[in-house]
Structure 1
Amino acid sequence: VKYRPLADEAKSIEAESFIIEGETIVTDEAGLSDFHTLRSAITRRPQDLYLVAFDLLHLNGHDLRDMPLKDRREILQAVVPAGGHIQFSEALPGTGEAVYHLACEAGLEGIVSKRLDSLYRSGSTMNWRKIKCYVEKEMDIIGVKRETGKPAMVLMADKGHYMGGAFVTFKADKRQDLWDRVQGKVGAPPPKGLAKEKAEWLKPGLVGRVKFLKGEEKLRHASLKGFREEE
């Protein structure tokens, strides 16, 4: 029901049966994929969704997974009508590293890449990768978690909004410098809504530079890259 407009459009594909692999997206005013509004669009604006198709696994009862990717995509391009909400994903020329850099610079969530000669295999494989972009940003360090047997984490807030935790992976001397600064700020009350978190809460004044996955509402795969005292 949520994807009814895309399901209805799929009926225009001239095939008896097919299995397409792709990503559902919604675009912003600039025409770029907007991960932040995707969830609400699925339930409230399904007519704005696009399916970006990049692989074809089955067609009219035939299993295509043992064909090289370039051949599967050639058939996919011929099958998908142009100009609709189900779109063929054009390949970008150049090296994967350059394409990834350009995607991140353009504000995109990341890239999907596949080897042109690869056969399709389910499960974990190096023949295709989904690589997300990371960003770095300064946020307030409002707490720390230092539990025995677990990696240390700092808890972050951005303009008063709790963002979650980032792992502390510094070497011993830099890590000790962080703990020395933390010690002078321990003793703040738990922020509203976070009383159940097992953490040491800090008084304001310590800022951290965090690297984290782009396009997420909370910190994911985040690590602390640096820290400073507010002047």
Structure 2
Amino acid sequence: MRVLAAGFVPPCLPTKALEPPSGTLWLHEIKHDGFRVIARKDGNRVRLYSRPGNDLTHRFPLIVETLARLRSRSCIIDGEAVACDDKGMPSFDRIRYRHHDASVILYAFDLIELSGDDLRREPLDTRKATLASVLRRAAPGLRLNEHIEADGPTVFAHA
């Protein structure tokens, strides 16, 4: 396996489409109303980056603490930092304007690197299963973003 260089690793970005993809070989995920975050853990050191690579580490100290306690010595997780309003619904305004909010959760949806191994060439379902294992004993501030394996138009109709 390849080893990733230190620092920011850009996330995979979705491709715009007019219709959801058909067939059951697609994974579909909830898009929360938050900040895209690439979380990099090296030993006890954790850095959080935005989609374009800006450092967000200082904005989400509880996510940093939670990631630092993961058992893996190193990993890179792609996810979305989400803050909920008083009704439990995602609130972009709340995450945008509150810099240190205890209610911010990282919904993790992909595992880019684990223990020095670049996983990007592995199938997505394999990476997600490994991510679920990494997060199994994580604190509540770090959650696996569940996915749905179904026909795209059917999922979209029920969204």
TM-score category (smaller protein): 0.5 to 0.7
Amino acid at match of 2:141: H
Classify the secondary structure of the residue corresponding to 1:92. strand
Between the two proteins, the alignment pairs up a number of residues equal to 101
Amino acid at match of 1:70: D
Amino acid at match of 1:14: R
Q: Distance in 2 between matches of 1:101 and 1:31?
A: 23
Residues 66/53 of structure 1: CA separation in 2 closer, same or farther (3 Å cut): same
Q: Residue 183 of structure 1 corresponds to which residue in structure 2?
A: none
Which structure: larger Rg? 1
Q: Residue 74 of structure 1 corresponds to which residue in structure 2?
A: 129
Q: 1:120-139 residue pairs with structure 2 within 5 A?
A: none
Q: Distance in 2 between matches of 1:93 and 1:62?
A: 27
Q: Residue 102 of structure 1: CA displacement?
A: 3.5
1:87 correspondence with 2:154: no
Q: Residue 60 of structure 2 corresponds to which residue in structure 1?
A: 3
TM-score normalised by structure 2 residue count:
0.57
Amino acid at match of 2:140: G
1:53 correspondence with 2:108: yes
Match 2:94 to one of 34, 37, 57: 37
Q: Residue 72 of structure 2 corresponds to which residue in structure 1?
A: 15
Percent sequence identity over aligned pairs: 29
Amino acid at match of 1:58: E
Amino acid at match of 1:29: D
Q: Distance in 1 between matches of 2:158 and 2:93?
A: 20
Q: Distance in 1 between matches of 2:121 and 2:134?
A: 19
Q: Distance in 2 between matches of 1:75 and 1:88?
A: 11
Q: Residue 97 of structure 1 corresponds to which residue in structure 2?
A: 153
Q: Residue 62 of structure 1 corresponds to which residue in structure 2?
A: 117
Q: Distance in 1 between matches of 2:87 and 2:149?
A: 22
Classify the secondary structure of the residue corresponding to 1:20. strand
Q: Residue 138 of structure 1 corresponds to which residue in structure 2?
A: none
Q: What stretches of structure 1 move > 2 A for 4+ residues in a row?
A: 28-32, 92-103
Q: Distance in 2 between matches of 1:96 and 1:46?
A: 34
Report the RMSD for the aligned CA atoms in angstroms: 1.8
Superimposed CA distance per residue, residues 145-190 of structure 1 (whole angstroms, 9 cap, x where no aligned partner): xxxxxxxxxxxxxxxxxxxxxxxxxxxxxxxxxxxxxxxxxxxxxx
Q: 1:54-203 residue pairs with structure 2 within 5 A?
A: 54-80=109-135, 81-82=137-138, 84-103=140-159
Q: Distance in 1 between matches of 2:88 and 2:152?
A: 22
Superimposed CA distance per residue, residues 38-88 of structure 1 (whole angstroms, 9 cap, x where no aligned partner): 2013x1x42111100000010000111111000000000000135511100
Question: Larger RCO: Structure 1 or Structure 2 (Cα < 8 Å, ≥ 6 residues apart)?
Answer: 2
Amino acid at match of 1:87: R
Amino acid at match of 1:31: G
Residues 37/98 of structure 1: CA separation in 2 closer, same or farther (3 Å cut): farther
